[in-house]
Amino acid sequence: MKRPIIITGFMGSGKTKVASELARRMNLVTVDLDNWIAEREGRSAAQIIVEDGEPAFRAIESNALRDVLQTNAVDIIALGGGAWIEETNRQLIDQYGCTTVWLDAPFEMCWARIETSAEERPLGKTREQSLALYERRRPIYSLAGIHIEILDDNLDDLISRILRTGLQD
């Protein structure tokens, strides 16, 4: 059974980019959970949240996470920002013995990316809403096994720091 690496963190912390760069460097297979959901559902995470509500999205997200883990074919999974917050998902991740990495980016960095991104984020519509969510979620992100503080936009440095933790040792 594979023990995938899980990348978590707030919206705009760079999860997708980091997962794909790590996969490239380590020659591993990566999946972005929101993309997986969008392909299967024919709608983006944002669309599902807007049309069906957040609880419906969370149910789809948990099923998707279970399915990705069950394929036993994926080495690195970039979660959506809320997936790690759900206890059932954390338990599932634990059952698979995954290595979990929290990309701890400062709020202002996340917000700048959220604000300028073309991607719709219904749970991060305003600065106030995003900041409240960021503060509320921090203690839960901190339950991840590996804590990577993001200092700037230097992806190379970030990847080197993640690799130096040993990850799958």
Residue nearest to ligand S3P (CB): 80
CB of 45 to ligand S3P, least distance (A): 4
CB of 29 to ligand S3P, least distance (A): 19
Contacts by 69-72 with C-beta closer than 8 Å and gap 24+? 69/4, 69/93, 69/96, 69/98, 72/1, 72/2
* Nearer of residues 44 and 165 to ligand S3P, judged by Cβ: 44
Binding site for ligand S3P (CB under 6 A): 11, 15, 34, 45-46, 49, 80-82, 121, 123
CB of 114 to ligand S3P, least distance (A): 8
* Nearer of residues 36 and 98 to ligand S3P, judged by Cβ: 36
DSSP output for 86-140? SHHHHHHHHHTT-EEEEEE--HHHHHHHHHH-SS--GGGSSHHHHHHHHHHHHHH
Supply 139's token pair: 């203690």
CB of 11 to ligand S3P, least distance (A): 4
